[in-house]
Chain A
């Protein structure tokens, strides 16, 4: 075991939270400084992990293994590969930006807010690093609680409804997952994810145990599908997003949704390749429905934040489509490249969606803080009043609708390329999502916010403040950089997906 960098990156935010805990609640300045500082150091570690990961070797690296509860074989087992490293980096990137933004906008219960946020970061990083199912579950739940309070305490008018809806939805998912995990343990005698993946198919071949394996598969599937969220498990998302404070939405859309997508590729696909392949037409259909349905529902929204929330349903549908297509192509001769491409696209989409939607929610926060409304009908003509805001929104919006040259494009391209070769019908229907995405982004968002005559009410709105520019610029830089030059990211992801492509 080398230097325990994954433990360090995971628990550093918790350490920061403890420090915040010990500060007097009046000293908000110190609380904010320590929180942002901790998150920035964590980002440093995330960057180190990104660059230290040996792409040529591939596989799981930075492994840490220690006995935790020997009686039931639960281990403290951490490790990262091409699936988790981008998401670890994404988490460490978005958290300091969200905290920085919050440092300027959160003024009530400051101590609790920053404390919870740092605990949340530990939970998310833990999920992406854990290789033991129990550990995974613990971190998974650790992320749930702070988010509940972030929505419930700092949210909008219907925050309690939203918070409880969020909690019940995700808790319902967690219960099924826990039962599934226990079944996996009793079947294979291990909680280690790689060990379970290696042993489960042989212990319970899908063809001979369709009933029970399907039950366990769908139990775990639903937990991840709720988090993703996949149609029809998605309605917690618009409420949670709409009511959450800006930083909460950023993390919710930017990272928490990825926990679901990550679960699919980390646990479900490797453990149940045959079952996943068997059910892939149904899952791909749900994915395509998410894409098209989500985009169409976006078009009917007038609340800007709700619109962006629904766009996440549509965009995360691409993740599911990529994974489902990848699963469908497993073990089919000649489809290896297509499988890799579909999975590359799915993971790339998770990273890019995190960056893009994170930026979009920050931008929604920008206008809501100023105008105290998110009703698109109230706006118009801001293009002249707030040119910087216009420019930033333009880049983020076009990245979101998948304009080539910006980050969102490559993921959609890979997903469609993989899907078209493996299951063409789904790709053909899914392409409609691209057209509708342009529809809601340009027709609803751009046109209503920026075009037309400027209303007198908004004539004196200040343009972006410097801290807002500081929070947004890194995200926009990544959109452009990975849009023009996606190779570093794809190289990293590709190391992991080639292994997944050989599952059957």
Chain B
């Protein structure tokens, strides 16, 4: 069964090919092709996932399927797919979410002129994400990673008539490409140092320790172990894809794409690929010992991003933008978790977050469709009664994200916090806890502004519930967001721990840690941490309600927070002016270089030189031509004239009379005889 893993990405790929070549004329056929492919791929994926339960040896000896062999001189590069617990849990999450989102898209994209193209693109996207998680080597991972980048570009700029949409697509591709270039370098560094790109071969204990012991010296950084350098470069790719500071700028703009795309790509799957990458390479990160440069960087960037973008989310008014910044913040949580060594907790949060963030995005999509494409929260309100299914589902997602017991986010977020506190990473712990408070606050704000109070616009006034194609997937996700966390309940949690059996998630994923030489150990419940985070979550929600729910805003009334925060509010609203900073520095520098080089090429240096050479040859040619005319030709002409003149001079001799000739002959003979005699 596990050998069929190649089918998981292959089926959506087939759907993509079929739709883009043949089926695009027929919307129904296109829909069904996409649905059937992802459905089949989901069934196979869950079967594979089930097959990996109770198979701890898969962590160190994954099932591998060879796909491609490339000769490299005398050696070979072998690439393929594999199954291990980390892949297994991603196969549990990704295809299921894809399926729900595909179904939802049927409702959301209804009537769009490029409907079939949409399904082709998302199918290719699913190929990318599924291929990524089943790759057994970094190179395939990179290939699928870039295919997702392509799909992301195409889907963000899907409505390419809109300037904001195509600009956002471009920004997403270029920003992530910066990270990808680093990832490529990291990949090549590993390849040139180990001769392989296959995970299980890189993660051999002797290879890892060799990478940790060999150092390279770099300018500025000094001597760095290869393992750390490669980890940092690879992390560059993760920073781009998972929108971590400083490459986070593309994700909020990516909300220009259709909302199911936001859910699929920019919440549930693609952005988590960066976290997956770090998790996948975790043995390499850990190779140089605890607290090494790579791990510290991951933890620092993750924690900083978590707090940084949570503050921005507080001051956003677009339904989807709040969620976008929330996503960046939550991805920071996961990164921070991995960076402090809390591998299992990081992956756990990756899985639960995917579900409840997909829920929130699809919910916001329903809000947008239901209220006639109004997405400014200041103009919404009162949707609770108008869209009840959406409201209750969205609320479940909110509670999960805020981390309220017993929703999914509570367990996973708490585990990261507990690990941070347990491992003595107090700074990370404090920063993440603050971020948690802000998270609960902005979600409280969003729910109050969107669903409570009275409608603040005509569109919201006439909002209606969406079609079953849309609310059924949302409701299913709400169910998952509520109960999914139970698979990772600490074993010593009262009642639940015993009931659910010794933290199954930890047992399943924890096996991966044997690759690092560490023993997977589950910590017990850390009551102070758990209670503090629960209290803060409730406090945040309460504050949100206090500001926006107790006395609902009137239409046109400014955000009360504006008064509270004073001059800080515009800074948050404008996202700390990071975009403007890049515009003024990086982009301007590239433009300047490009213009300067062009001038060097065609106006200043190279072409003028070439033209000058051309001209001087031209002058040389005309010089030589005049030389030709005067001297060479002159000589020729002179010769001719000489011959002519000689001819003329001798003409009188030719008289035609025999006696004259005889006279000449006789004279000559006499002369010659005279000469002979004298000699």
Q: Which residues of A contact B (CB under 8 A)?
A: 164-165, 168-169, 232, 234-236, 238, 293, 296-301, 336-341, 344, 381, 383-384, 391, 394, 398, 403-405, 409, 413-414, 416-417, 420-421, 427-428, 431-432, 434-436, 438-439, 442-443, 447, 450-454, 485-487, 490-491, 494, 497-498, 501
Contacts and interface: CB of A to CB of B under 8 A. Distances in A.
Contact of A297 (B143, B185, B601): B601
Contacts of A486: 70
B112 interface: no
Interface string B127-158: 00000000000010011111100100110010
Max chain B C-beta neighbours (<10 A), residue from A403, A450, A485: A403
7 contacts: A235-B606, A296-B590, A384-B161, A403-B147, A434-B181, A447-B166, A497-B73
Given A298-B594, A409-B146, A421-B192, 20 more contacts: A235-B610, A238-B602, A300-B598, A337-B195, A340-B73, A398-B150, A403-B150, A414-B72, A420-B189, A420-B192, A431-B184, A435-B181, A436-B590, A439-B590, A442-B153, A442-B174, A450-B160, A452-B163, A454-B161, A494-B73
A335 B610 CA distance: 40
B181 A339 contact: no
A427 B142 CA distance: 18
Interface in B571-606: 590-591, 593-595, 597-598, 601-602, 606
Contact of B601 (A235, A391, A414): A235
A438 B173 CA distance: 8
A494 B71 CA distance: 7
A443 B590 contact: no
B389 to A, nearest CB: 36
A203 B350 CA distance: 66
Contacts of A341: 72-73
Contacts of B173: 438, 442
Give chain B's interface residue range (CB within 8 Å of chain A).
35 or more
B191 interface: yes
Given A168-B614, A435-B174, A486-B70, A296 B150 contact: no
3 nearest A-B pairs in the assembled complex, by CB-CB distance: A340-B73, A404-B143, A421-B192
Interface majority SS on B: helix, strand, loop or mixed?
Answer: helix
A424 to B, nearest CB: 8
Contacts of B598: 296-297, 300-301
Contacts of B614: 164-165, 168
A431 B191 contact: no
Contacts of A383: 160
Interface string B55-71: 00000000000001111
Interface string B167-201: 00010011001101100110011011001000000
A439 B175 CA distance: 10
Contacts of A498: 73-74
Contact of B157 (A236, A409, A414, A451): A451
B75 interface: yes
A340 B74 contact: yes
Contacts of B591: 299
Contacts of A414: 72
B617 interface: yes
B628 interface: no
A299 B177 contact: no
B607 interface: yes
A164 B69 CA distance: 47
A487 B188 contact: no
Nearest to A344: B72
B166 A235 contact: no
A453 B161 contact: yes
B184 A434 contact: yes
B249 to A, nearest CB: 15
Interface of B: 20, 68-75, 139, 142-147, 150, 153-154, 157, 160-161, 163, 166, 170, 173-174, 177-178, 180-181, 184-185, 188-189, 191-192, 195, 590-591, 593-595, 597-598, 601-602, 606-607, 610, 614, 617
A386 to B, nearest CB: 13
Contacts of A236: 610
A409 B161 CA distance: 30
Contacts of A391: 20
A405 B146 contact: yes
A299 to B, nearest CB: 4
Contacts of B163: 451-452
Contact of B72 (A232, A394, A494): A494
B192 A338 contact: yes
Contacts of A381: 161
A405 B602 contact: no
Contacts of B157: 451
A487 B71 CA distance: 8
A451 B145 CA distance: 25
Nearest to B153: A442
A293 B166 CA distance: 26
Nearest to A295: B594
A482 B595 CA distance: 35
A491 B73 contact: no
Nearest to A422: B192
A337 B71 contact: no
B185 A431 contact: yes
B520 to A, nearest CB: 34
| B144, B160, B595 — most chain A CB neighbours (10 Å) | B160
A485 B68 contact: yes
A487 B606 contact: no
A502 B516 CA distance: 39
Contact of B70 (A403, A453, A487): A487
B72 A340 contact: yes
Given A235-B606, A438-B174, A416 B184 contact: yes
Contacts of A439: 174, 590
A29 to B, nearest CB: 33
**Max count, chain A CB within 10 A of own CB: residue among B145, B163, B195, B593:** B593
A164 B181 CA distance: 40
A451 B167 CA distance: 9
A442 B167 CA distance: 10
A421 B145 CA distance: 24
Contact of B166 (A338, A428, A436, A451): A451
A485 B67 CA distance: 10
A131 to B, nearest CB: 24
Contacts of A413: 139, 184, 188
The CB with the most chain A CB atoms within 10 A, among B71, B145, B163, B610, is that of B71
A403 to B, nearest CB: 6
A409 B142 CA distance: 11
A487 B191 CA distance: 19
A339 B70 contact: no
A296 B602 CA distance: 14
A403 B149 CA distance: 9
Contacts of B144: 404
Contacts of B69: 487
A337 B75 contact: yes
Nearest to A419: B188
Contacts of A409: 143, 146
Contacts of B185: 416, 420, 427-428, 431
B590 A438 contact: no
A208 to B, nearest CB: 31
A398 B153 CA distance: 11
Contacts of A164: 614
